[in-house]
Structure 1
Amino acid sequence: MSTSHYPVIIIGGAAVGSAAAYFLQSNPDFSGQVLVIEKDLSYQYCATTLSAASIRHQFTTPENIEMSLFGTQFLRDFQKNMEVNGDCPDPAFHEGGYLFLASTTEGKAILEKNHALQNQLGAQIVLLSPSDISQRYPWMYTSDLEAGSLGIRGEGWLDAYGMMQGMRRKAVTLGAKYIQDEVISIEKKGAYVTSVTLRSGAQYSCDALINAAGTSAAALAKQVGIHLPVESKKRSIFYFQCPEKLENCPMVIDPSGAYFRPEGDGYIAGISPPSDQDPTCLDFNVQHHLFEEILWPLLAERVPAFEALRLVRSWAGHYDMNQLDQNVIIGTHPAVSNFYFANGFSGHGMQQAPAVGRALSELIIYGKYQSLDLSRLGWSRVLNHQPIIENNVV
């Protein structure tokens, strides 16, 4: 079978892969065609489709803050930049804000420290006292709180599937080719990836290969002898309705780790399972016990009206969880010079996709970052076991 050649092949065509394809094809300094290989072009089970579809600036790692700041600007310009033949896709970005709550003096001090860094980098975050919170959100129980941290602009939620499809369609219009297939082997010669073989039997050679395969990324890395410390962790999301409307409800992050936000005529909510109940897995079975035993009691304690909530539906997706430090691993591994990684987002992939896609395009075209230096998030820290701890993993 003959082998077709593409300058860049991207494995994984969801948010990150499509962002990389868009930024490559839209850059006048890039010539050639990008091939995107996606095993399911319906995107029924991809992390982007099944996510809580939110974006925030309230991180504790500078790079994460800056990536999401760019993500917000990308969304604001989305309709203009993703226009195709007069059709301007709307990502339905609602800047409803994130509200992080603290119930201890230690938690309050952390919010204050985070606030200083976030605002220094350009985020618009305000600190709230318990009385401020109670005045803004009279439906919330605040007697146990010490402080809150609220994003007043730039944070919120959106149509993640619409955002992904908008990037994909624009990338195709600019020249990218998408195929539905699965990479079963990666061939390399020395420290250089040469080609990929697909389940269909097709083979494609390339100058650069991007691993944007989410929970399948570690298996791909293993094919070239690289251990990628990324595991698939299931996260369940619950949609419910409540008789009482919560006016001006933001995305609320409770001190317990539970979160909730408006969605249509109701709300979505979730919480990470206890660590001893959080195995590596790939199934999509909803953790119903998590809602009944842990999440609902926490929601009802924070919002008394949620005592009367009615669960309507639920679903499960997966985080590609970086076991070292819950931050993305981006760039090349020293053992393979033209294999670019963008993995281990740990739940932040959709909101960081625009910045990461741009960064990958710069590495490939120019050999270095130009817009935002993400070198600290490269392989060096992984190989030297020097984690960059992100405290705000939701």
Structure 2
Amino acid sequence: MSLAQQRLLRLSSIASSSTRTLHFTALRAWQGFENERHYEPGEDALKRTWHGLTYDFRRWKRRYQEARNDAFKRRHPIAHMKHSVMDHEVFPYRAEVLIIGGGLSGSSTAFWLKERFRDEDFKVVVVECNDKFPSSSSMLSTGSLAQQFSQPEHCEMSQFTAEFLRHSGKHLRVLDSEPPSVDLLPSGFLHLATTEESANEMREHWKLQLDKGARVSLLTPPQLREQFPFLNVDDVVLASIGLENEGSIDTWQLLGAIREKNLTLGVQYVKGEVEGFEFERSPTSPEVHSLIEDADEADEDKWKRQRVIGVHVRPQMTDASARPIRAHLIVNAAGAWAGKIAKMAGIGSAKSGMLAVPVPIEGRKRTRFVIYAPDVPVDMPFLVDMEGRLHCRQMDAGHTYVVDLIPTPEEDKAIDHSDPSVDYDIFYEKIWPQLVKRTEGFSTAKIKSAFTVLEDVNTFDSAPVIGEHPLYTNIHTMAGFGERSAMHSIAAARAYAERVYDGAYHTINLRRFDMRRIVKNDPIFEKYRY
């Protein structure tokens, strides 16, 4: 008899003589969540009723199997409780998806993830810091909604957002409460081209916009004088104006409606600040370790041989220490602070390789002035002048306007972006003379208030960064929208949910906006700014 057969015989005799039996549980890498089809009210009454009657039985069956396969018998097969009893009152320790940032982009991402996958065991946690909200773009955005762009994806995202906001009362309604309002003020954006070169570019972009279904009209100077006789267009060569799906919204009301809807869908908001990431490192083989001699090469090898498994979050309470939250997917939607969050994970800290490329998103200070101009006609369009740098929008149907001037790259370098104070010389020296030049009624305008906002600007090409990191594939970025956050965050979040669940984009293809273009130094420049 061989040695192996002798050991097997000895083990069988011990097991037969003992009153205990050995229990073995099969390893499961992922729980069998069922992706439930959701039926909107009035969509299909019979299927919706059948889904409501059968969903509880399928959930009970899954929980019963989980309890039976629990080696420690922590849950009873019949009275199976949830993992977290008081989920919204206890600081979480795990999540399927963890989103950093509770602004418009982060909350929209959580909304579309839970809207499509309405399983209460699929946990989505949003970590937000209250100290960042007063200066964030979600709080202080002008809420511009436009469809005139030079990139096709931007046109498609704006059109989807306009359709979503048109039916926001149905999408974001909570039970039997009143439908939320986003105060949509429809008005077309009037772009002015003062040179032949910019006029030719406007014609090419106009063709692209029409191909994507946008309704935009080109106007010559005589047509401008006929439609807007109060405008001075002596130096204008060509103009374009949106005929529909353009205007402005109240982003704070929209964000509040999305957050309330997320709470009913099971999204948990945590007040805290991310202080670092938690890694799981794979050991280096002795052969590879012997080949590493340089300290920088060893540090780079350390970053590559690890994966992110969670974050360390410090709750916003007195004398609280950072606590870990494990997660399968981590979405960096921190807005102006997205670049700093990515650097905590080592992205941009290496000397060479993939981790040497940072996430180029930084907070840029922008100053906006609220003025009262009683002598300006009420049919004043949303004006975009000075080759896209000067913007003048109505706040309501009266005579109150919000104006701002996008600085040139040289001016942007001279700005102290950490200083929240307002420089009124920008209005009196640069904005006001141009407004009076276009419309004489602005000569009696008075400043009512002014404020500064930190926009999440992608310093690489001013386009958003959407998608996973090439090395840390479970870290995804949803930031860098800049002044287009209000009009593109909702559409980008919906496309991101398609990418997560289906592995590909179905409605709007946003593959061009991931980190690969930054690694390959292939920028995407957008002509139109809002």
TM-score when scaled to structure 1?
A: 0.96
1:221 counterpart (323, 326, 342): 342
Secondary structure of 1:49 counterpart: helix
Q: Please point out which of 147, 154, 169 is paired with 2:238.
A: 147
- Distance, in Å, in 1 between the alignment partners of 2:242 and 2:509 is 24
- SS of the equivalent of 1:203 reads strand
Say whether residues 1:199 and 2:303 are aligned partners. no
Could you say what secondary structure the match of 2:403 adopts? strand
Residue 172 of structure 2 contacts residue 261 of structure 2 at CA under 8 Å; is this kept in 1?
A: yes
1:210 aligns with 2:299: no
The answer to whether the 8 A contact 1:191-1:337 is kept is: no
2:471 and 2:117 mapped to 1: Cα distance?
A: 30
Kept in 1, the 8 Å contact 2:466–2:478? The answer is yes
Whichever residue aligns with residue 332 of structure 1, its letter is E
Q: 2:363 aligns with which of 229, 232, 241?
A: 232
Matched, 1:269 2:360: no
Deviations 1:304-341 (A, max 9, x none): 11111111111110221111111001101111011110
Query: Equivalent residue for 1:32?
Result: 122
Shift, 1:276, TM fit: 2.6
Code of the residue aligned with 1:270 in structure 2: it is D
Q: Tell me whether 148-157 or 255-264 shows the greater mean CA deviation.
A: 255-264
Aligned equivalents of 1:361, 1:40: Cα separation in 2: 26
Residue identity opposite 1:32 in structure 2 = F
- Secondary structure at the aligned position of 1:182 is classed as strand
Measured against aligned partners, the alpha-carbon deviations of 1:122-147 in whole angstroms (never above 9, x if no partner) come to 11100011111122212211111111
Residue number in structure 2 paired with 1:344: 480
Secondary structure of 2:138's partner? coil
Which residue of 424, 436, 445 corresponds with 1:300? 436
Is contact 2:105-2:479 (8 Å) kept?
no
Match of 1:328 among 439, 464, 481: 464
CA contact (8 A) 1:232 1:320 kept: yes
Partner of 2:107: 18
Q: Is the 8 A contact 2:276 2:345 kept in 1?
A: no
* 1:226-265 Cα deviation digits (max 9, x unpaired): 1111121111111111121423222110135211011133
Paired amino acid for 1:231: E
- Counterpart amino acid of 1:349? S
CA distance in 1, matches of 2:278, 2:406: 38
Q: Rg bigger for which structure?
A: 2
Separation in 1, partners of 2:114, 2:107: 10
Superposition RMSD on alpha carbons, in Å? 1.8
Query: CA separation of 1:205/1:285 partners in 2, compared to 1, >3 Å: closer, same or farther?
Result: same
SS at 1:327 equivalent: coil
Instruction: Name the CA distance, whole Å, in 2 between partners of 1:199 and 1:281.
Output: 26
Distance apart, 1:110 and its partner CA: 1.2
Structure with more of its chain in strand, by fraction: 1
Q: Aligned match of 1:378 in 500, 506, 514?
A: 514
Cα displacement (A) at 1:41: 8.2
Equivalent position to 1:98, from 177, 189, 192: 189
CA distance in structure 2 between the partners assigned to 1:241 and 1:52 by the alignment: 16
Indicate how the Cα distance of structure 1 residues 178 and 234 shifts in structure 2: closer, same or farther if over 3 A, else same. Answer: same
1:105-120 to 2 correspondence within 5 Å? 105-120=196-211
8 A contact 1:19–1:354 mirrored in 2: yes
TM-superposed deviation, 1:161: 0.6
Counterparts of residues 125-140 of structure 1 (less than 5 Å): 125-140=216-231
Corresponding residue number in structure 1 for 2:136: 46
Aligned residues: percent identity?
A: 29
* Equivalent pair of 1:29/1:365 in contact (CA under 8 Å): no
Relative contact order higher in (CA < 8 Å, ≥ 6 apart): 1
Question: Is the partner of 1:106 in helix, strand or coil?
Answer: helix
Q: Does 1:162 align with 2:253?
A: yes
Paired residues, number? 394
In the TM superposition, what is the alpha-carbon distance from 1:121 to its structure 2 partner?
0.3
Deviation at 1:29, TM superposition (A): 7.0
2: distance between equivalents of 1:90 and 1:259? 25
2:496 aligned partner = 360
Distance 2:94 2:326 in 1: 5
Distance 2:391 2:165 in 1: 23
The Cα of 1:42 is off from its aligned counterpart by: 9.0
Q: Unaligned regions of 5+ residues in structure 2, if any?
A: 1-90, 281-304, 316-321, 348-357
Cα deviation per residue 1:28-51 (whole Å; 9 max; x = unaligned)?
376612100110189332212211
Whole-Å Cα distance in 2 between the matches of residues 7 and 28 of structure 1?
12
- Structure 1 CA distance for aligned equivalents of residues 110 and 381 of structure 2: 32
3-state SS of 2:522 partner: coil
- 1:98–1:156 contact (8 Å) kept in structure 2: yes
Contact 1:102 1:148 survives alignment (8 Å): yes
Output the CA distance in 2 between the equivalents of 1:151 and 1:179. Answer: 40
Which residue of the partner structure matches residue 392 of structure 2?
260
Give runs of ≥4 in structure 1 deviating > 3 Å: 28-31
Q: The residue matched to 2:243 in structure 1 has which SS?
A: strand
Q: Quick one: which amino acid aligns to residue 211 of structure 1?
A: N
2:164 maps to which residue?
Answer: 74
Aligned to 1:369: 505
CA distance change for structure 1 residues 191 and 252 in 2, over 3 Å: closer, same or farther?
Answer: farther
- Does residue 7 (structure 1) correspond to residue 96 (structure 2)? The answer is yes
